[in-house]
Homo-oligomer: A and B are copies of this chain.
């Protein structure tokens, strides 16, 4: 009956669509089936369970990262570009970001960025051990930043909506927070991200010179 037959990619695509439209909480097998005009249990012919479906979502999103790696560029720029590429995809699927980040998948989709990053770092002159450590630091920073941007993360990074909690804080108990409230409240995610990225790159550049 359906012009296109049911398939895992179609189901994953429907899930991504649903997440972007209504958030990750709206995802249910029933809901996805309804969106596809299909019985609930039909999904299980293509996907073993909900968890695997979400893995598929993460994998699909992750595989869409586009590296325009220029081997001739300075290694610092290449690292920067790779980090930005990672962030860009999260910006394209904002509500899927939490799903991607909070799910450890073992497909090759997640390995490609790692391979690229390690290659870049090693070509810059870092040893294997250093490269791995540095990669971990960058991933931690990127993941943490994305969580903030997506709006998930403790108070420290209030969303841009009028977050009165920060502004109405007791100036005597929290002089710094109170005084810096305007800066705490609004946040240019892009420039903040690049600021930290610059710090890290600068730090490892120093590290390299020894």
Contacts and interface: CB of A to CB of B under 8 A. Distances in A.
Contacts of A113: 156
Q: Top 3 closest A-B pairs, CB basis? A: A140-B144, A144-B144, A106-B165
A115 interface: yes
Contacts of A151: 104
- As for how many copies of this chain the complex holds, the number is 2
A148 B147 CA distance: 13
A192 B207 CA distance: 15
Given A141-B137, A147-B143, A148-B140, A111 B155 contact: yes
- Tell me the dominant secondary structure on chain A's binding face: helix
Contact of A177 (B100, B103, B115, B155): B115
Contact of A136 (B105, B148, B152, B200): B148
Classify chain A: how many residues form its interface, as a range. 35 or more
Interface stretch (A9-17, A33-41, A66-74, A126-134): A126-134
Given A114-B176, A129-B183, A136-B157, 5 more contacts: A106-B166, A111-B177, A139-B154, A142-B144, A143-B144
